Amino acid sequence: MTEQNAFVPLLLDWFAAKKRDLPWRNTYDPYAVWVSEIMAQQTQMDRVVSYFNRFMELFPGIAELAAAPEDAVLKAWEGLGYYSRARNLHAAAKRIMAEHGGVFPGSFPTIRALPGIGDYTAGAIASIAFGRDAVAVDANVLRVLARVRDIDVPVKEPAGKARVMEIAQALLPTGRAREYNEALMEFGALVCRPKNPDCPCCPVATACQARHLGIVADRPVLSKAKDIIPLEVATGVLLQAGRLFIQKRLPKGAWANLWEFPGGRIEPGETPQAAVVREFIEETAFTTEVATKLAVIRHGYTTFRVTLHCFLLRLAGGRNDGELPVPALTAAQQSLWVRPEELGGYAFPAGHRKLIDQLADSLWL
């Protein structure tokens, strides 16, 4: 056996000894594998565990998930971000009920055809839940194989990704895809980490080309970083007769179907205070005035960095008659006047949820 061919046995031995005890590893149930794989995309594993356990309690199977209102699914997802993942899970559960009799399909192409499932997730489910010889190449696997096999092109671009797929496929030990895929991902998360890989204690170091060549720091080759766009946004919490105004976003576009406080981008030359008053008129036809500034919240997304200027608003013209006026909505599908303690029952984007957490300590509520 050459040193290169030694890589997989060394990896599998390490995985057998060191794998973490994660809740979905106690089962090969396709539903549990699917939910865990979708949650783990773009999210740290320690955060995934608590969300996963709660999600499985709320929606223990495909039928329960399919039958749940979308609001309940989004609420269970609140804080994980990338809400299209939750919407696609929900849509796929409905499709499995309608087209597969409620039974998770077992072939790669049928899994791949479900909403929100790409090559990686289809490979993970096909191998882990159904024991099929499919590869599952995520960011961990791209990085590990770029180092072990010294791939000198950016692995997140099509040519580099194709090379990693080819190598992953060639290395796959027949009949052991489940362990192999899980081991590669776990190894990338725990040992061959993006920063500070643990090369001195690495169980596969003898089979690693980048280590032999002394170029670990140069692998994987990175794509050119995308520019992060700064966005200045103003939002307003309108208080009237002890209730707060919230609205549900439209069913398409960013944060579709989540709840929010109205607001929007601050125009060039505009103050945040002026922006929030303007946005309220445009989105609800309410004329408001700023009572006080509540917070400035910063939140990073993949391609944006949002600075959210948050204000407490009241209706202009001294309307303190206890009436809850009806808005003319232009940027939302529904609105509500809710008591502050009811805000926890609705799913909000991360920036607004941070604001709500801060509001809990406010004296005026």
- Footprint on this chain of ligand SF4 (rule: CB under 6 A): 147-148, 191-192, 197-199, 202, 204-205, 208, 210-211, 216
Task: Read off the amino acid at residue 133.
Answer: D
Residue 40, both tokens: 């783990």
Residue 205, both tokens: 């170091």
Q: Between residues 114 and 207, which has the closer beta carbon with respect to ligand SF4?
A: 207
Residue 79, both tokens: 């804080």
| Least separation in angstroms between CB 181 and ligand SF4 | 17
Helix (DSSP H) and strand (DSSP E) numbers for the chain: 14, 7
Q: State the catalytic residue, choosing from 3, 37, 179, 232.
A: 37
| Least separation in angstroms between CB 90 and ligand SF4 | 38
How far lies 142's CA from each of 161, 188, 194, 244, 298, in Å? 7, 9, 11, 47, 31
| Least separation in angstroms between CB 1 and ligand SF4 | 17
Active site residue 37: yes
| Least separation in angstroms between CB 332 and ligand SF4 | 48
User: d(Cα 132, Cα 126) in Å, to the nearest integer?
Assistant: 5
The 3-state secondary structure of 134-164 reads CCCCCHHHHHHHHHHCCCCCCCCCHHHHHHH
Residue 260, both tokens: 């929010």
DSSP H helices, the chain, are 7-18, 30-40, 45-58, 62-67, 70-77, 84-99, 108-112, 119-128, 139-148, 158-171, 177-190, 209-213, 272-284, 350-359
Q: Between residues 10 and 312, which has the closer beta carbon with respect to ligand SF4?
A: 10
| Least separation in angstroms between CB 360 and ligand SF4 | 44
Q: What contacts 153, CB < 8 A, 6 or more positions away?
A: 159, 160, 163, 221
User: d(Cα 122, Cα 363) in Å, to the nearest integer?
Assistant: 50
| Catalytic center residues | 37
